[in-house]
Chain A
Amino acid sequence: MKALSEFKKSLIISLWFMLLTFPIMVIRVNTIEKVVEWRWRNMAFIGIGSFLLSFVWRYLLGRKEKGRKLAEAGRVEVRLFSQRLMDEPRIYRPALAAVTLFAVAFPFLFSSYQTNIMTTALMYVMLGLGLNIVVGLAGLLDLGYVAFYAVGAYSYALLNYHFGLGFWAVLPVGALLGVLFGILLGFPVLRLRGDYLAIVTLGFGEIIRIILENWNEFSFGPSGIANISRPGLFGIQMSLNEATIYLYFIMIALCLFTIFVVNRLQDSRIGRAWIALREDEVACQAMGIDKTKTKLTAFALGAMWAGMVGVIFAAKTTFINPASFTFLESAMILSIVVLGGMGSIIGVIIGAFILILTPEYLRAFSNYRMLLFGMTMVLMMVFRPQGIVTNVRRIYKFRARGRDGEPSQA
Chain B
Amino acid sequence: MDSVLEVNGTTMDFGGLRALHAVDLQVRQREIAALIGPNGAGKTTFFNCVTGIYEPTEGDIFISPPGGKRRRINGVKINRAAELGMARTFQNIRLFPNMTVLENVMIGRHCRAKAGVLGAILRGGGTRREEQEIVDRSYEILVKIGLADQVDELAKNLPYGAQRRLEIARAMATEPFLLLLDEPAAGMNPRETEALEELIVRIRDEERISILMIEHDMKIVMSISDRIFVLDYGEKIAEGTASEIRENPVVIKAYLGEDVNA
Question: Nearest Cβ distance between residue B51 and chain A, in whole angstroms?
Answer: 6
For A408, the chain B residues whose CB sits under 8 A away are 143, 148
Number of interface residues of B (CB under 8 A): 54
| B103 pairs with A394, CB closer than 8 A | yes
Which of A149-157, A197-205, A232-240, A275-283 binds B? A275-283
Given contacts A264-B121, A400-B143, list 15 more A-B pairs with CB under 8 A. Answer: A268-B123, A268-B127, A270-B115, A270-B117, A272-B103, A279-B99, A280-B96, A282-B90, A286-B88, A286-B94, A287-B79, A288-B110, A291-B79, A396-B106, A403-B148
Query: Which residue of A75, A271, A290 contacts B79 across the interface (Cβ within 8 Å)?
Result: A290
For A321, the chain B residues whose CB sits under 8 A away are none
Cα–Cα distance between A280 and B163 once the two chains are bound (Å): 15
For A286, the chain B residues whose CB sits under 8 A away are 51, 53, 78-79, 81-82, 87-88, 90, 94
| B121 pairs with A265, CB closer than 8 A | yes
Cα–Cα distance between A393 and B98 once the two chains are bound (Å): 9
Cα–Cα distance between A269 and B121 once the two chains are bound (Å): 11
Instruction: Say yes or no for B252: interface residue by CB 8 A criterion.
Output: no
Instruction: Say yes or no for A397: interface residue by CB 8 A criterion.
Output: yes
For B140, the chain A residues whose CB sits under 8 A away are 400-401
Sample 10 A-B pairs with CB under 8 A, ordered by A number. A264-B123, A269-B134, A275-B96, A279-B97, A279-B99, A286-B81, A288-B108, A289-B79, A398-B136, A401-B140
Instruction: Say yes or no for B241: interface residue by CB 8 A criterion.
Output: no
For A282, the chain B residues whose CB sits under 8 A away are 53, 78, 90, 94
Instruction: Say yes or no for A363: interface residue by CB 8 A criterion.
Output: no
Question: Are A265 and B139 also in contact (CB < 8 A) when A273-B110, A276-B96, A280-B94 are?
Answer: no
| A397 pairs with B82, CB closer than 8 A | no
| B98 pairs with A261, CB closer than 8 A | no
Query: Which residue of A272, A280, A297, A399 contacts B95 across the interface (Cβ within 8 Å)?
Result: A280
Instruction: Say yes or no for A284: interface residue by CB 8 A criterion.
Output: yes
Instruction: Say yes or no for B83: interface residue by CB 8 A criterion.
Output: yes
Cα–Cα distance between A284 and B94 once the two chains are bound (Å): 9
The residues of B with any CB-CB pair to A shorter than 8 Å are: 51, 53, 77-79, 81-83, 87-88, 90, 94-100, 102-103, 106-108, 110-113, 115-117, 119-121, 123, 127, 130-132, 134-137, 139-140, 143, 148, 151-152, 154, 157, 170-171, 173-174
For A397, the chain B residues whose CB sits under 8 A away are 135
Question: Are A297 and B117 also in contact (CB < 8 A) when A279-B97, A287-B107 are?
Answer: yes
The residues of A with any CB-CB pair to B shorter than 8 Å are: 75, 261, 264-265, 268-273, 275-276, 279-280, 282-291, 297, 301, 393-403, 408
Query: Which residue of A275, A276, A287, A402 contacts B82 across the interface (Cβ within 8 Å)?
Result: A287
For A394, the chain B residues whose CB sits under 8 A away are 100, 103
Cα–Cα distance between A148 and B143 once the two chains are bound (Å): 46
Cα–Cα distance between A403 and B148 once the two chains are bound (Å): 9
Cα–Cα distance between A44 and B93 once the two chains are bound (Å): 55
Question: Are A265 and B110 also in contact (CB < 8 A) when A288-B82, A394-B100, A398-B135 are?
Answer: no
Most B CB within 10 A of own CB, among A270, A280, A291, A398: A398
Cα–Cα distance between A269 and B110 once the two chains are bound (Å): 7
Cα–Cα distance between A35 and B81 once the two chains are bound (Å): 78
